[in-house]
Structure 1
């Protein structure tokens, strides 16, 4: 969770703030930093840190506490949003990609939803909202388009236009927490989408 209005930093940005390379930061400063500044709850790939806490630590000042009171504009991960709504993180991502719920916002290479959006989704009139975490029913469900294919296609298009570097299998495997084989399939489907010009997921 990112508390409302709080700037955040990944470890590369923390090292830059300290005026050293990431490798140097890891060797000389990481242990002391990890003891004093904790990653924001729920953050991963990349771990994120509150900028105010980082700056306080780097300047030798006491690290301030994060706000404890929930706010509608707090930013939640897919897992945290799913916990509020009562569905799995994958359902949140799929519903956002297909327009069934708020699309969220992108920050640090991943998507986040405001607490208000999560609570609004949870309060929707009773209807099927997706698979609940741990559900064991075997009912065959209509297959939804894979939002990852659309996202990868967008990144490939940006790479082709020179707006970013090449999209790699390792990057996709890390982003979606899948095997390299699955990442290769996602990239192949995304390229097929671009060739077909449909803009949708295969």
Structure 2
């Protein structure tokens, strides 16, 4: 979360303020900095820091406190906005594309949403009600049997009974308008079905 109206810095900005390269900053200064200055909550890739706290650390002064009370203009990550709105982070991003929530603002290479936008989204129903996360099917899905398998099984049964001549995969392929390989699969499934019945 970025508190309302607070300028922020990523590690490149911090190094620039210190007047050194990022490599030098990481090698010589970052350990002490990370022990003293905490990244803003929810910030990852990149970690971002409050500019006033960074400046105070670089000047050797006590760090100013961040605002403690939530404000409608606080900037939130997709996960933080989703937690307030009661939806997932991916739904926040999808809703920004479809207009169910504003598009947010970009800072440090990622998108942020105001607390007020997340709270407004919480009052609206989702357009698409898909499966609940973690839901399990109540019953196993029914596998549909290809009707051609029954026909092929009947043809094979007739051939075995002597009432019809044996049929080849090439003939079945021509009869059903499929490839020879598909006809071979139909014959195999028909054989399995007949074995299950007997």
| Fold shared, TM-score > 0.5 on shorter chain | yes
Give runs of aligned pairs for residues 43-58 of structure 1, distance below 5 A.
43-58=43-58
What corresponds to 2:25 in structure 1?
25
When the two chains are superposed, the root-mean-square deviation of aligned CA atoms in Å is 2.0
**Alpha-carbon offset, residue 26 of structure 1:** 0.6
**Alpha-carbon offset, residue 100 of structure 1:** 2.1
**Alpha-carbon offset, residue 97 of structure 1:** 1.4
Per-residue CA deviation, residues 122-169 of structure 1 (Å, 9 max, x unaligned), is: 123xx336679x722369xxxxxxxxxxxxxxxxxxxxxxxxxxxxxx
Give runs of aligned pairs for residues 118-137 of structure 1, distance below 5 A.
118-124=118-124, 127-128=125-126, 135-137=133-135
- Specify every segment of 5 or more residues in structure 2 that has no aligned partner in the other structure, as ranges: 138-198
Q: What SS is found at the alignment partner of 2:67?
A: coil
How many equivalent pairs are there? 137
Give runs of aligned pairs for residues 12-91 of structure 1, distance below 5 A.
12-91=12-91
Distance 2:65 2:127 in 1: 36
Give runs of aligned pairs for residues 166-181 of structure 1, distance below 5 A.
none
Partners of 1:87 and 1:131 within 8 A in 2: no
**Alpha-carbon offset, residue 62 of structure 1:** 0.4
What corresponds to 1:112 in structure 2?
112
What corresponds to 1:6 in structure 2?
6
Mark the structure with the bigger radius of gyration. 2
**What TM-score results when the alignment is normalised by the length of structure 2?**
0.65
Distance 1:130 1:21 in 2: 48
**Alpha-carbon offset, residue 24 of structure 1:** 0.4
Distance 2:6 2:128 in 1: 31
Distance 1:32 1:129 in 2: 48
Pair 1:102-2:102 in alignment: yes
Give runs of aligned pairs for residues 117-196 of structure 1, distance below 5 A.
117-124=117-124, 127-128=125-126, 135-137=133-135
Partners of 2:100 and 2:121 within 8 A in 1: no
Per-residue CA deviation, residues 161-197 of structure 1 (Å, 9 max, x unaligned), is: xxxxxxxxxxxxxxxxxxxxxxxxxxxxxxxxxxxxx
Distance 1:117 1:80 in 2: 12
